[in-house]
Chains A and B, each alone.
Chain A
Amino acid sequence: MASPASANLLTPESAHSPNAEDSTTLYVIVMIAVLALIAAVNVGLLRGVSRNRARRGQQARDVSGLRRLQRLTAGGLAAFAILLFAVSVFFTERAQDPGSTGTEGLQSASVVTEGSGAAPVGGSTPPPSSRSADPLEITATAQQWLWRYTYPNGAFNYYRLVVPVDTAVKVRLVSTDVVHGWFVPSLGGKLDAVPGKTNFARFRADEIGTYEGRSSTFSGAAYAAERIEVEVVEPDEYEAFVDQQSADIQEAQDIVAEQIASGETP
Chain B
Amino acid sequence: MTPPTIAPARPELYSDGYPQRRPRWVELITSADHKDIGRMLIGGSLGFLLLAAVEWLLMRAQLAIPENTLLKPEFFNRLLSIYGETAIFLFALPLVLGLFYFLVPLQIGARSTALPRIGQLGFWLWVAGAATLYASLVFTPPESGVNPLPPLSGITFSSSNGADVWLTCAGLSCLGFVLISIDMIATLRNHRAPGLVWRRLPPFAWAGAVGSWLLLVISVLMLGAITMLMFDRNVNGLFFDGGAGGAPLLWQHLSWIFFSGAYTLVVLAALAAIAEIVPAFSGRPLFDRRAVSASLTAIAVLGPLAWMQNMYSQPIGIGFSYFAMAMAMAMIVPFGILIFNFVATMQGGSVQVRAPMLYALGAVSMISIGLASELGHSAVAVAWQLQGTTDSTAATHYALVGAAILGGFAALHFWFPKLTGRTLGESLGRISFWTILAGLNISFLPLFFAGLQGQVVDAYKYFSDLGVSGYNLVASIGALVLTVGIVLALVNVLASLRSGVKAGHDPWGGTSLEWFALSPPPAHNFDVVPDVRSHEPLRDIRDAIGNRQRSAGEKTAESQPLA
A residues touching B (Cβ–Cβ < 8 Å)?
A: 6-7, 9-13, 20, 22-24, 26-27, 30-31, 33-35, 37-38, 41-42, 44-45, 47-49, 51-55, 58, 60-63, 66-67, 69-70, 73-74, 77-78, 80-81, 84-85, 88-89, 91-92, 95-96, 144, 177-179, 181, 183, 185, 188-192, 194-199, 212, 214-225
Contacts and interface: CB of A to CB of B under 8 A. Distances in A.
A144 B158 CA distance: 13
Nearest to B391: A12
B433 to A, nearest CB: 14
Given A24-B385, A95-B381, 10 more contacts: A9-B449, A20-B385, A30-B382, A54-B352, A69-B344, A189-B381, A216-B389, A218-B146, A219-B152, A224-B462
A6 to B, nearest CB: 5
A78 B326 contact: no
B364 A92 contact: no
A216 B388 CA distance: 5
Contact of B384 (A61, A67, A189): A189
A66 B368 contact: no
A67 B146 contact: no
Contact of A194 (B157, B314, B383, B458): B314
B361 A45 contact: yes
Interface residue SS majority, chain B: helix
Tell me which of B332, B365, B456 has the highest count of chain A C-beta atoms within 10 A of its own C-beta: B456
A54 B376 CA distance: 37
Tell me which of B291, B325, B342, B376 has the highest count of chain A C-beta atoms within 10 A of its own C-beta: B376
A183 B456 contact: yes
Given A37-B375, A95-B381, A192 B329 contact: no
13 contacts: A23-B384, A31-B376, A37-B375, A48-B343, A73-B340, A95-B381, A185-B454, A190-B384, A190-B388, A192-B315, A194-B314, A194-B315, A197-B242
Contacts of B44: none
Contacts of A222: 73
Interface string B380-410: 1111111111000000000000000000000
Interface stretch (B19-27, B262-270, B280-288, B485-493): B280-288
Interface string B316-338: 00100110011001101100110
Given A53-B353, A73-B336, A88-B380, A12 B368 contact: no
B459 interface: yes
A58 B283 CA distance: 13
Contacts of B458: 218, 223
Contacts of A12: 385-386, 452, 454
Interface string B346-359: 11111111000000
Interface in B367-385: 368-369, 372-373, 375-376, 379-385
A26 to B, nearest CB: 5
Contact of B454 (A31, A48, A55, A183): A183
B459 A223 contact: yes
B453 A38 contact: no
A114 to B, nearest CB: 28
B137 interface: no
A192 B313 contact: yes
* Contact-residue bracket for chain B: 35 or more
B351 A53 contact: yes
A218 B313 contact: no
Nearest to A83: B329
A66 B287 CA distance: 9
B340 to A, nearest CB: 5
B248 A215 contact: no
A192 B314 contact: yes
B521 to A, nearest CB: 30
Given A44-B343, A92-B380, A190-B384, A78 B454 contact: no
A191 B383 CA distance: 10
Contacts of A58: 350
B342 A45 contact: yes
Tell me which of B152, B365, B458 has the highest count of chain A C-beta atoms within 10 A of its own C-beta: B152
B34 to A, nearest CB: 34
Interface in B64-101: 73-74, 77, 80
A23 B385 contact: yes
A218 B388 CA distance: 9
A52 B453 contact: no
Contacts of B466: 212
B452 A7 contact: yes
A74 B333 contact: yes
A6 B452 CA distance: 10
Tell me which of A9, A42, A188, A195 has the highest count of chain B C-beta atoms within 10 A of its own C-beta: A195
B142 interface: no
A45 B332 contact: no
B347 A191 contact: no
A76 B249 CA distance: 37
A-B residue pairs, 7 tightest by C-beta: A189-B384, A196-B242, A216-B388, A54-B350, A224-B459, A218-B145, A41-B368
Nearest to B343: A48
